[in-house]
């Protein structure tokens, strides 16, 4: 069980300890196994984000654990996106792929098309497809959203099919 709020008027040391403990718990729960070696780095990145948020305005002091959990999820998702983009760049350089190839769709246009098509999906499908595209496996998505695994698998399958059809309709599939 995680504490939802720090103790009333904690000392700065107690407050910092509560934030670190909460962020560690969030990262440990949400971090995929392939990022396991980076858990402490992810916690540190989350701490930096929280401190930057608080630094912008004195009234923006973090008071709930739910905010810290959202920050932890955001840091993990950003790291997964960064790794996926890095992997894609290295594959392209290995293959010698060039975006100026005939028939290639410019990445900004494709990104806008994906964003538009995702916006047209029903909320549950959009949520699981976004997590899937960020590298979350069905088991991780099921655990994160606290939904039945079979439901998540069906939503991913149908959501990706809807996304594919929408992109085809917009002419964004080579």
pLDDT tens figures, 94-109: 665 554 455 566 677 7
Please report the pLDDT score of residue 109 as a whole number: 79
Q: Where are the domains of the chain?
A: 12-80, 101-169
Q: Which top CATH class is 101-169? A: mainly alpha
Among 159, 156, 163, 118, CA closest to 139 = 156
Please report the pLDDT score of residue 25 as a whole number: 93
Inform me whether the pLDDT recorded for 28 exceeds 60: yes
Angle at Cα 49 formed by Cα 44 and Cα 55, nearest 5°?
125
Residue range 136-174, pLDDT digits in tens: 888 888 888 889 999 999 999 999 999 999 988 888 875
The mean pLDDT of the chain is 83
CA 63/CA 37 separation, integer angstroms: 29
Please report the pLDDT score of residue 60 as a whole number: 65
Exposed e or buried b per residue across 19-43, where buried means at least 16 C-beta atoms within 10 angstroms of its C-beta:
bbebbbbbbeebbeeebeebeeebb
Inform me whether the pLDDT recorded for 21 exceeds 90: yes
Inform me whether the pLDDT recorded for 125 exceeds 90: yes
- Tell me the pTM: 0.49
Please report the pLDDT score of residue 99 as a whole number: 47
pLDDT mean over 12-39: 88
Q: Give SS3 for 137.
A: coil
CA 88/CA 94 separation, integer angstroms: 10
CA 82/CA 100 separation, integer angstroms: 23
């Amino acid at each position: 069980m995680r504490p939802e709020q720090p103790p009333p008027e904690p000392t700065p040391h107690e407050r910092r300890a509560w934030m670190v403990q909460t962020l560690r718990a969030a990262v440990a729960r949400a971090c995929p196994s392939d990022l396991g070696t980076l858990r402490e780095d992810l916690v540190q990145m989350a701490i930096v984000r929280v401190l930057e948020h608080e630094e912008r305005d004195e009234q923006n002091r973090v008071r709930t654990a739910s905010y810290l959990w959202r920050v932890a999820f955001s840091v993990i998702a950003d790291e997964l996106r960064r790794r996926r983009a890095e992997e894609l760049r290295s594959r392209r350089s290995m293959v010698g792929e060039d975006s100026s190839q005939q028939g290639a769709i410019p990445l900004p246009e494709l990104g806008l098309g994906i964003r538009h098509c995702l916006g047209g999906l029903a909320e549950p499908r959009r949520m699981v497809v976004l997590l899937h595209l960020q590298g979350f496996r069905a088991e991780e998505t099921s655990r994160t959203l606290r939904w039945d695994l079979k439901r998540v698998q069906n939503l991913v399958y149908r959501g990706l099919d809807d996304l594919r059809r929408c992109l085809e309709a917009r002419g964004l599939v080579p």
